[in-house]
A and B are shown apart, each in its own frame.
Chain A
Amino acid sequence: MSSFALFIVVLIYLALLFLVAHLAEKKKSKIWINNPYIYALSLAVYCTAWTYYGSIGVAATSGLNYLPVYIGPIVVVPAWIYINTRIVRISRVNKISSLADFISLRYGNSRSFSAIITLVCFFAIIPYIGLQIKAISETFHLVTETKISPNILTDSGTFVVVLIAVFSSYYGTRYVDASEKRLGIISAIALESFLKLFFIIILGLFVIYYAFDGFSDLYQKASQFPDFKAKNTFNGIEGAMNWMVLCMISGTAICILPRQFHTAIVENRQEKHIKTAIWFFPLYLLIFTVFIFPIAWGGRLIFNGQNVNPEFYSILIPQHFDNTLITVFVFLGGLSSSISMIIISAITLSIMLSNNLIIPYGLLGKFKAENETQNTRNITNIRKFSIFGLIIVAFAFYKYFILKTSLDSVGLISFVIIAQLAPAFFGAIFWRRGSYKGAVAGLSAGLIICYFGLIIPQYYFSYNSELKGILRDLYNAFQFFDISFLTRIPEIFFWSVLVNTALFTILSVSMKGNYRERNFAELYVDIDKYIQNHENAFIWRGTAYVSDIQNILERFLGKKKTEQAMRIFNIKYNIDSQTETADSRFIKFSENLLAGRIGTASAKILIEGVTKEDKISLKEVLNILEESKENITLNKKLTEKSEELKQLSSDLSTANENLIVKDRQKDDFLDSVAHELRTPITAIRSAGEILADDDDIPLDIKREFLNNIITESDRLSEIINDILYLDKLQHGEIALNIQENNIIETYKKALNPIFHLIQQKFIHVSEVDLLNDYLFKYDEARFIQLFQNILGNALKFTDEQGIIQTKFSQKDDNLVIKIFNTGKNIPDEDLKLIFDKFYQSKNQNIRKPTGSGLGLAISKKITEAHSGNIKAENSGLGVTFTITLPMKNIVDDNTEPEGFNFNSPG
């Protein structure tokens, strides 16, 4: 393939990444933000070109040693539920944007410590980035089958590197606040992680099924190699020991590598995404690793006896079979793994460089004088140039130092150097007493051992063939410490971490800590307690004015954002906005606001510049912390209590409202009763008056009046009876006489007395019977009353020649009786109210002409007494009353009632 064509492919590929980053950044929709798989895939930035090419080389040449790089992480990953969740919380409340911030803040927010950590990361990661560039450049030349040009300016690999540098510096610095989430770039990384996995699967399948006849064929052939068995077992206890230490190295690296810290902690959008990563990430690594074995052994079989670099088997195999498509796929997969590592590492290193080295040591004074726009531009530019610069430095490093060495060793050396941060890092989350001095001393000692043990031997030999002079004497002197059964890298890891941890712990316990350090130690270790109001946990005493601090904030955040932030702060802590003096909470709050932009160390220095802090003893700090811890627990209890009270008071107010409603109902009821009673009384009285006043009334009229008096008196006593009856029903004073009865017969008994009234209006009455059983348990007398009330009601509203239809059925263990009558609909808002006592419709047309007005209320009570319910609904041309009774009253007796004649009257 020609260089130009491949270059175009790379360009298109980068354009695709730009597009994804751009879309994710622009849309910011929930699908992108809430997606746990984007987070989990972005963690796979762990798999770099080293995995993609290097592991295959290791598997082919030194057997099982390719596995520890993946075994280490999968051992640690389940514990993320505890470790990473806490680190994420600590970082969120303190606005931590890099590894250096995280460690140095814990040890008293020290400027020098954060600078040291930055330098460690810088020197450990630059060769690692160089390694990626080496992989890109070499595979580029491999695919295009060209030689690496000795002149950098004409080498096509250089252009690819410059392209990547531009991409990262553009997308990596979109926000001036470094703790802000970079959704665009993370989405692009996630896509790359997916693609590199996809491409290696394609290659794996290609090797297994195209180059060989399935896996067993490949395995059969590979096992013919004389060293096959040795390469797939440990070389005795020594091999197992080395293997174990390598696992430990990579296990530490997965937590502390700056790029892992960045993707796992700084870019964590939601804590719950960690849970998905816990199973997804090991699965990703598993799929990746499964294909290394067949590719490595397939490569050995294909190129047996030829002098080729096994690290590039994955490109050479498809090339050997003249399959350009898969060759390019594999190249793009390798490119993805390299680019994602380069981008994330460069971004996080640039944040560290700017926030922990360049700004606190050089530009802070300048920033104090400038305005917000100027400062924002400066900070972003610093980061932009450092990203670009870093990639170029790494490129130079690759060109002049690591041309000869393998991918695997460079990667592992980086891991061991980064592992020197482990004691301080894990100490920060678990150990209150760990101190600044111990951490720095341990780190320095560990680094010195790494320098002499790993870096000199690795790079010295790039230029000299053997050790000379003093150096030789030095190495001879330390020969005593050689561990014969460990190889070089595990050996140095063991010694450096041992000395590092020993110094860290011993110095920490033998010296009194600084109060600020202890303050942050409490905040880190007890993060779960302080998560809600972490500003309270910051202890500070002295004089400070809000206006001074505000002035500083405005220089970095701008006037509008500062005011907004201060308003939020005042509301959160219930502080009067006119307050002039600043307390510890405001100082911590302001430091947090600045931390994302200029780093925690610089934020502290800036705030210190405008405040005057009084000395505080360690003992005092501990006392205050103890108190504030108690206060927080107390607060929690108080909040719970007040929640309870709130609940109680809301219950009370609901009860009160209910009572008011009841009271009004009672008044309405009394009004209605008075009204209903007055109507017949008025009739009786007027008839009586006429009879008393006038003796000459003809006899027949007199009789009519007397009859009226009798009917009205009857109605009066009916109303009074109903009221008393309803009252008794309501208070449960009427005992139900529940017996087994035939529901149809009961219905007939109810229908008969009113049958002639129905006939008078020429109303057609019919029944539909869908019952299997007829025997139910209920109080028959009450049911007769119930039917009569509803039928009577129906009768009143049904026009002449209308229809009344009753339907009996069973549904879901319920007896359902539907009584339908044609006639005017009930207004929807009244459907529930008609069962109230003395319901009177607003619509006077359908106001009941006769009766007590208690019929439906009584019906409702009767059904409720049988634990059923009744409801009315408008259906088509009329109204349906539905009575539902639970079947448990049904008797298990299927005998058909004998001689029951079911015909329709009317």
Chain B
Amino acid sequence: MKKRHEQKLIILSIGLFIAFSIPISLLFNSEKEVFGYPMLLVYVFAVWMLSIIISFVIVKKYDE
């Protein structure tokens, strides 16, 4: 894998850290419900899902 594509994954890692940290995580700290479920749980699992998809795409697309 080229350095550039490796760096995409590292940026993903930093992005995830920010997404789960204060203050971003606090934005979703609400008693409201999204799709009928607690907003924070939906947020956490959505980001988690997304990160799997992004890493899968990067790994498969730029595999050499």
A residues sitting closer than 8 Å to B (CB atoms) are 64, 67, 71, 74-79, 81-82, 216, 219, 229, 232-234, 236-237, 239-241, 243-244, 247, 272, 275-276, 278-279, 282-283, 286, 290, 293
Asked if B6 and A240 sit within 8 Å, CB to CB, the answer is no
- When chains A and B are docked, how far (Å) is the Cα of A634 from the Cα of B40? 55
Known interface pairs A233-B40, A279-B56; A243-B25 also in contact (CB < 8 Å): yes
Q: How far is the CB of B54 from chain A (nearest CB, A)?
A: 8
Residue of A nearest to B64 (CB): A272
Known interface pairs A240-B25, A279-B52; A79-B20 also in contact (CB < 8 Å): no
Asked if A286 and B52 sit within 8 Å, CB to CB, the answer is yes
Asked if A71 and B9 sit within 8 Å, CB to CB, the answer is no
Asked if B41 and A293 sit within 8 Å, CB to CB, the answer is yes
Asked if B49 and A75 sit within 8 Å, CB to CB, the answer is no
Asked if A240 and B49 sit within 8 Å, CB to CB, the answer is no
Which chain A residues border B36 with CB–CB below 8 Å? 216, 219
Known interface pairs A64-B40, A233-B30; A75-B16 also in contact (CB < 8 Å): yes
Residue of A nearest to B55 (CB): A279
Residue of A nearest to B41 (CB): A232
Which chain A residues border B49 with CB–CB below 8 Å? 286
Asked if B55 and A234 sit within 8 Å, CB to CB, the answer is no
Residue of A nearest to B11 (CB): A78
Asked if A74 and B51 sit within 8 Å, CB to CB, the answer is yes
Asked if A79 and B26 sit within 8 Å, CB to CB, the answer is no
Task: Give the residue of B16, B22, B26, B63 whose beta carbon is less than 8 angstroms from that of A78.
Answer: B16
Task: Give the residue of B29, B44, B51 whose beta carbon is less than 8 angstroms from that of A282.
Answer: B51
Which chain B residues border A82 with CB–CB below 8 Å? 6, 9-10
Which chain B residues border A276 with CB–CB below 8 Å? 59
A interface footprint on B1-20 (CB within 8 Å = 1, 0 otherwise)? 10000100110110011001
Asked if A75 and B55 sit within 8 Å, CB to CB, the answer is no
Asked if A229 and B13 sit within 8 Å, CB to CB, the answer is no
For the A-B complex, the count of residue pairs with Cβ-Cβ distances under 8 Å equals 88
Task: Give the residue of B10, B40, B59 whose beta carbon is less than 8 angstroms from that of A234.
Answer: B40
Q: How far is the CB of B22 from chain A (nearest CB, A)?
A: 5
Q: How far is the CB of A847 from chain B (nearest CB, A)?
A: 57
Q: Considering residues A64, A81, A234, which has the most beta carbons from chain B within 10 angstroms of its beta carbon? A: A81
Task: Give the residue of A240, A278, A282 whose beta carbon is less than 8 angstroms from that of B22.
Answer: A240
- When chains A and B are docked, how far (Å) is the Cα of A822 from the Cα of B27? 88
A interface footprint on B27-63 (CB within 8 Å = 1, 0 otherwise)? 0011100001110110011001101100110010001
- When chains A and B are docked, how far (Å) is the Cα of A272 from the Cα of B10? 17
Task: Give the residue of A81, A216, A234 whose beta carbon is less than 8 angstroms from that of B29.
Answer: A234
Residue of B nearest to A274 (CB): B59
Asked if A244 and B13 sit within 8 Å, CB to CB, the answer is no
Known interface pairs A74-B16, A75-B16, A78-B12; A234-B26 also in contact (CB < 8 Å): yes
Which chain A residues border B55 with CB–CB below 8 Å? 77-78, 278-279, 282
Residue of A nearest to B12 (CB): A78
Which chain B residues border A275 with CB–CB below 8 Å? 1, 59, 63
Asked if A244 and B56 sit within 8 Å, CB to CB, the answer is no
Known interface pairs A219-B37, A240-B26, A286-B45; A229-B10 also in contact (CB < 8 Å): no
Q: Considering residues B10, B12, B29, B41, which has the most beta carbons from chain A within 10 angstroms of its beta carbon? A: B29
Which chain B residues border A71 with CB–CB below 8 Å? 20, 44, 48
- When chains A and B are docked, how far (Å) is the Cα of A232 from the Cα of B49? 19
Chain B residues with a Cβ closer than 8 Å to the other chain, count: 31
- When chains A and B are docked, how far (Å) is the Cα of A817 from the Cα of B52? 58
Residue of B nearest to A71 (CB): B20
Asked if B51 and A78 sit within 8 Å, CB to CB, the answer is yes
Among all A-B residue pairs, the 10 with the closest Cβ atoms: A232-B38, A79-B13, A279-B56, A78-B13, A78-B9, A75-B16, A279-B55, A78-B12, A81-B9, A234-B29
Q: How far is the CB of A525 from chain B (nearest CB, A)?
A: 16
Residue of B nearest to A67 (CB): B44
Asked if B38 and A233 sit within 8 Å, CB to CB, the answer is yes
- When chains A and B are docked, how far (Å) is the Cα of A75 from the Cα of B1? 20
Residue of A nearest to B19 (CB): A75
- When chains A and B are docked, how far (Å) is the Cα of A477 from the Cα of B26? 34
Which chain B residues border A282 with CB–CB below 8 Å? 48, 51-52, 55
Q: How far is the CB of B17 from chain A (nearest CB, A)?
A: 5
Q: How far is the CB of B36 from chain A (nearest CB, A)?
A: 7
Asked if A290 and B25 sit within 8 Å, CB to CB, the answer is no
- When chains A and B are docked, how far (Å) is the Cα of A71 from the Cα of B12? 14
Which chain B residues border A236 with CB–CB below 8 Å? 29
Asked if A75 and B40 sit within 8 Å, CB to CB, the answer is no
- When chains A and B are docked, how far (Å) is the Cα of A458 from the Cα of B63? 48
Q: Considering residues B1, B16, B36, B63, which has the most beta carbons from chain A within 10 angstroms of its beta carbon? A: B16
Which chain A residues border B9 with CB–CB below 8 Å? 78-79, 81-82, 278
Which chain B residues border A278 with CB–CB below 8 Å? 9, 55, 59
Task: Give the residue of A77, A244, A272 whose beta carbon is less than 8 angstroms from that of B20.
Answer: A244
Asked if A290 and B45 sit within 8 Å, CB to CB, the answer is yes
Which chain A residues border B29 with CB–CB below 8 Å? 233-234, 236, 239-240
Task: Give the residue of B31, B37, B59 whose beta carbon is less than 8 angstroms from that of A233.
Answer: B31
Q: How far is the CB of B50 from chain A (nearest CB, A)?
A: 11
Which chain A residues border B16 with CB–CB below 8 Å? 74-75, 78
Q: Considering residues B6, B16, B44, B55, which has the most beta carbons from chain A within 10 angstroms of its beta carbon? A: B55
Q: How far is the CB of B62 from chain A (nearest CB, A)?
A: 9
Q: How far is the CB of A590 from chain B (nearest CB, A)?
A: 34
Which chain A residues border B63 with CB–CB below 8 Å? 272, 275
Which chain B residues border A232 with CB–CB below 8 Å? 38, 40-41
- When chains A and B are docked, how far (Å) is the Cα of A234 from the Cα of B40? 9
Task: Give the residue of B17, B37, B38, B52 whose beta carbon is less than 8 angstroms from that of A75.
Answer: B17
- When chains A and B are docked, how far (Å) is the Cα of A807 from the Cα of B56? 56
Interface contacts beyond A82-B9, A244-B20: sample of 8 additional A-B pairs, CB < 8 Å, sorted by A = A77-B13, A78-B55, A237-B22, A240-B25, A247-B21, A275-B63, A282-B52, A286-B52
Which chain A residues border B12 with CB–CB below 8 Å? 78
- When chains A and B are docked, how far (Å) is the Cα of A277 from the Cα of B59? 10
Residue of B nearest to A215 (CB): B37
- When chains A and B are docked, how far (Å) is the Cα of A341 from the Cα of B29? 35
List, sorted by A's number, 9 A–B pairs whose CB atoms are closer than 8 Å.
Answer: A64-B40, A79-B13, A229-B31, A229-B38, A234-B40, A237-B22, A275-B63, A278-B9, A282-B55
Q: How far is the CB of A792 from chain B (nearest CB, A)?
A: 57
Q: How far is the CB of A282 from chain B (nearest CB, A)?
A: 5
Task: Give the residue of B13, B26, B37 whose beta carbon is less than 8 angstroms from that of A76.
Answer: B13
Q: How far is the CB of A254 from chain B (nearest CB, A)?
A: 12
Q: How far is the CB of A483 from chain B (nearest CB, A)?
A: 15
Which chain B residues border A79 with CB–CB below 8 Å? 9-10, 13
Which chain A residues border B1 with CB–CB below 8 Å? 81, 275
- When chains A and B are docked, how far (Å) is the Cα of A275 from the Cα of B22? 29
Q: How far is the CB of A446 from chain B (nearest CB, A)?
A: 22
Which chain A residues border B10 with CB–CB below 8 Å? 78-79, 81-82
Which chain B residues border A241 with CB–CB below 8 Å? 22
Which chain A residues border B51 with CB–CB below 8 Å? 74, 78, 282
Q: How far is the CB of A448 from chain B (nearest CB, A)?
A: 29
Which chain A residues border B52 with CB–CB below 8 Å? 279, 282-283, 286
- When chains A and B are docked, how far (Å) is the Cα of A272 from the Cα of B1? 9
Which chain B residues border A293 with CB–CB below 8 Å? 41
Which chain A residues border B22 with CB–CB below 8 Å? 237, 240-241, 244
- When chains A and B are docked, how far (Å) is the Cα of A816 from the Cα of B7? 55
Q: How far is the CB of A134 from chain B (nearest CB, A)?
A: 29
Q: Considering residues B9, B13, B41, B45, which has the most beta carbons from chain A within 10 angstroms of its beta carbon? A: B13
